[in-house]
Structure 1
Amino acid sequence: MNFRSIISERERNLPGTMIGRLLRMAEESRSVISLGPGEPDFCAPMYVIDAMKRAVSTCETHYSPTSGRKELKEAIVRKLKRENKIDASPENVIVTNGSTEAIMLSLMCLVDPGEEVLVPDPGFLGYIPTIELLNGFAVSVPLRQSENFQMTGDAIRAQIVNPKKLRAIIINTPGNPTGTVLKKRALEEIADVAIEYNVPILSDEAYERFVYGSAKHVSIASLNGMEDYVVTFQSFSKTFAMPGFRIGYAVGPKPLIEAMSKLHIYTTLCAPTPSQMAATVALNDTKNAKKSVGAMVMEYARRRRLILKRLREIKGFRVDNPEGAFYLFPSFQFKKRMTSAELVEWMIRNARVSAVPGSEFGRYGEGYVRFSYATAYDLIEKAMDRLESAAKKM
Structure 2
Amino acid sequence: MISVELPTLNTNDASYVLVEWLAEHGAHVATGQPLVVIETSKAQQEIDSTADGILHTLVADGADCRPGQTVAHVFASADERSAYLSAPAVDPTARPEPATGAGLTLTKAARALADQHGLTDDELRGLGRTVIRAADVEALVPRPVQAGVPTVRRLPAQQRAVGAVVTESMRTIPAAAAYAKVDVGQAQDLARRLRRRTGSVVSLLGLLIKSVAEQLPAHPSLFAQLLDDGTFQPAPRAHVAVAVDAGKGLYTPVVHNAAALSVAQIADAVTGFRDKAVRGTFRADELTGANILIAPHTADGVVFATPIVFPGQTCALSLGAIDEQLVLDQRGRPEARRFTYLGLVYDHRVVNGRDAMAFLGDLKRALETPAALAAGAEGDEDAQKKACEPAT
Give the TM-score category using the shorter length.
under 0.3
| TM-score, normalization by structure 1 | 0.24
The structure with the largest helix share of the pair is 1
**Structure number with larger C-alpha Rg:** 2
| TM-score, normalization by structure 2 | 0.25
